[in-house]
Amino acid sequence: MIVPVDVDSTKPLYLQIADHITMLAVGGQLGGGTRLPASRQLAESLQVHRSTVVNAYEELKARGVIDATQGSGSYVVPGLVVSSRQAPAIMPALREPDDIVRMLWRVNRADGVISLALGLPADELMPIETYEAARSRALRRDRAEALNYEDPSGYEPLRRAIAGHLAKSGAVVDPENVIVTVGAQEALNLTARALATYGDTVLVEAPGFFLYTMNLKRLGYNVLGYRLRPSGPDWASLAGTLCQTTVGGACDSLPRPRFVLASPDFQNPTGSHWSADDRHRFVDTMQELDLQVIEDATYRDLVYDGAPQMPLLALDDDVIHIGTFSKVMMPALRIGYIVARGALREQLITLRNIACGSAYGLAQRAVTEMLVTGQYDEHVRRIQAEYRVRRDALCAALDEYMPDEVQFEKPMGGFYVWLRLPEQVNAVTLFTEALQRGIAVAPSHVFYPDGLHENAVRLSFARYNADTLRYAAKRLADLVHHMMR
Ligand SMILES: Cc1ncc(COP(=O)(O)O)c(C=O)c1O
């Protein structure tokens, strides 16, 4: 049996083994009745101490994953296998962000689970008919050209339409400087790879988008985080991190960050929305320090109260700006974009050509149609109204049912509520216990690049109607009350 063990991980080896075997048993790769290798044999093949495997087997026994009778071996208990539509009956003691994120996907559409954990838009709010009609028109018009390789920098009319869309928010952009990407995720990945290399220091929000942090760490970057206030960066935290990393003054032995990531519009996961003053101050500070800013505007169009502030790009055209159509329209489009200038733009186009050629040309044409005909703006207005109702319902229910010790700010836009928990309610324990009761939430430590983190969970209100959100908030609140006793 092969069990990947990571001796550098902070997770004890016996738990790594127990969690992996639990995953295999629950996932059906190890069927009921399968005999596990003897502890000595597994210890030899994994090159760990025998007591590590003995402890792992004890843990599995305690979880009800295996039956072990002295002398006759250890067997996987029958009936553990769950399909992807069922929530697992046995929850491994997950702590590592990677394991938790995999589990969140596993239960994402499981029967009986309300998942507030991931950032999916609502299925029923997707503009399927409008998109389908736009796609058919584009195919009839452009035929094979729409299905051939596309220019790796993107379909030219789409780049123009994106520049037009950005102009409405005050950013003047040359369409030449727009690069169409496979979602914002590719845009984040490409810019990170273009600007830094193994061992470099980079600065991100803490907490921040977990797939991004996971990616940067896997690229071998030294990932530092700065904290946020509801209306901007936590300036003391930013100054502290910059002093640690910026050449000059007392800090000259430490490396400069290659870039600083900022999501000023309804940040994932805190919902932070930066004030105009904070935006100006941030851009001025980074200009003074000569640090490259990457702006992630993934949630920018999802505003529910008032109007969003100007994007950082409108204040400084050296800012690299990233956007996407995933949250407003459909993630499966896989259409995002980068605005970047000069040599960096050239490098990004080459990198994306190498990475995966061109984004799907027919989808690019359909999105162009929706942008230029005004269907996109009309759709945004429709979903803003519905997401506002959902946000209000979740926040009202949290206000009503949660104990006073639980705190959150009502976000002005985006998908998320960041629920700060009292000390007695550990976020990972809450995640595990809530999942057993059919509610999935995302525990805070997956959003941090370092071990230091606020004890919180992220709840997404996008996917469910107001009644379901109220029900989920009540169940979660009952559990929190119970854990506080
Ligand atoms: C902050 C943030 N940036 C980028 C992305 C990736 O978006 P896309 O689906 O366009 O790749 C997400 C998705 O959840 C996100 O939350």
- 152 preceded by a cis bond (ω within 30 of 0): no
Its sign, for the CA torsion 370, 375, 378, 383, is: negative
Is residue 442 within 8 Å of residue 478, measured between CB atoms?
Answer: no
Report domain extents, the chain.
13-84, 99-124+378-484, 128-374
Ligand 1 touching residue 296 (CB < 6 A)? yes
CB within 8 Å of 313: residues ≥ 6 apart: 166, 171, 173, 295, 319, 321, 339
CATH no. of 99-124+378-484: 3.90.1150.10
Distance from residue 298's CA to the centre of ligand 1 (Å):
6
Place of tokens 């769950």: 82
Residue 190's pLDDT is 97
Note the pLDDT tens digit of each residue in 408-456.
Answer: 999 999 999 999 999 999 999 999 999 989 999 999 999 999 867 899 9
Residue 63's pLDDT is 79
CATH no. of 13-84: 1.10.10.10
Q: How far apart are CA 289 and CA 76, in angstroms?
A: 58
Distance from residue 324's CA to the centre of ligand 1 (Å):
8
Residue 94's pLDDT is 66
User: Alpha carbon of 54 to those of 42, 78, 252: distances in Å?
Assistant: 10, 21, 50
Q: Extract the tokens encoding 256.
A: 């400069």
At residue 68, φ and ψ (nearest 5 deg) are -130, 125
Which atom belonging to ligand 1 lies closest to the Cα atom of 187?
Answer: 11
Residue 361's pLDDT is 94
Ligand 1 touching residue 324 (CB < 6 A)? yes
Whether CATH 3.40.309.10 fits 128-374 = no
Compute and round to an integer the Cα radius of gyration of the chain.
Answer: 24
- Report, as ranges of residue numbers, the positions in the chain whose pLDDT lies below 70: 27, 70, 81-94, 245-254, 451
Residue 247's pLDDT is 52
226 burial level (CB within 10 Å; 0-12, 13-18, 19+): buried
Residue 27's pLDDT is 67
Q: Tell me the sheet residues that pair with 15.
A: none
